Amino acid sequence: VNDPEVTLVGKNASRSGSLLDWVLRDYEWSYVSKNQANPLILFWSTMRNIVYALFAFVILVTAFLLITTRGKSLSIQKFIPRFLIAVFLVTLSFAITEAIYQTVDIFQGFFLKKPDGKVISSSDLLYIAFNYQDFKGMRLIGDEYNESAFISLLLVKLTALTYYAMAIILILRKIILWFFIIISPLFPLLLLYYPVRNTAKIWVGEFFRWLFYAPLFA
């Protein structure tokens, strides 16, 4: 007979599989058409220009420290090389983070692709032959079938939950890494002074932590 619980569980499984397939199919960090600029560059360039403006403030703060400490805590010989390296890293921050991201995507793609070159999908894990729109759940009536139906529904629910968890983690990873790419010009600025240098190290560590989530998942 028709059973609303079986229908609900089946449709949920089909939807979770479709979501996971979509995430795995579009796992690369971004898709850009030919002769089209990456949309992240617009946000990154705005942040870069703000950091360029902050460099003037940094010079003023450094000059104040040199005067007040008389070069004991910070000398001009140490500051100038750090400052030039920071300006260089700010200018190339998008290219550096983009290259790292794309390199990791290559390794991730190696594990996500089958020998025939196609990307792995939910059909390689829990195969769902029906589509979401047409599915109608049925179950056999009788006490002798209740235990089997309960376990089958439970396993399908757990699988759908696992699919959702994997897909959401990969989506969050991409959003967080996009955020780190946009604010990447701030990292070199934080390396100039010792009190905020640890903050930059933490940010870089978080970037690589989220970066390697996907290859480990794959």
Q: What mean pLDDT, rounded, does the chain reach? A: 85
Query: What is the rounded average pLDDT of the residues 99-127?
Result: 84
For residue range 9-50, list pLDDT tens digits in order: 999 999 998 898 898 887 777 666 666 777 888 899 999 999
Six token digits for residue 137: 């759940």
What are φ and ψ of residue 2, in 5° steps?
Answer: -65, 140
Show Cβ contacts of residue 208 under 8 Å, excluding neighbours closer than 6 positions: none
Q: Say whether 28 sits in a helix, a strand or coil.
A: coil
* pLDDT over 80 (residue 79): no
| pLDDT at 192 (0 to 100) | 77
Confidence band for 71, pLDDT divided at 50, 70 and 90? low
d(CA 202, CA 179): 15
What are φ and ψ of residue 127, in 5° steps?
Answer: -80, 125
* pLDDT over 80 (residue 90): yes
- State the number of CA atoms in the 13 A half-sphere of 123 facing the CB: 8
DSSP count for the chain of H helices, then E strands: 7, 0
| pLDDT at 73 (0 to 100) | 61
Six token digits for residue 12: 């949920």
Task: Please state, for a pLDDT cut of 90, what percent of the chain lies above it.
Answer: 25
Q: Which of 99, 131, 109 is nearest to 13 (CA)?
A: 131
| pLDDT at 157 (0 to 100) | 93
pTM over 0.85: no
* pLDDT over 90 (residue 158): yes
d(CA 18, CA 133): 12
List the single range of 86-90, 174-178, 179-183, 191-195 with lowest mean pLDDT. Answer: 191-195
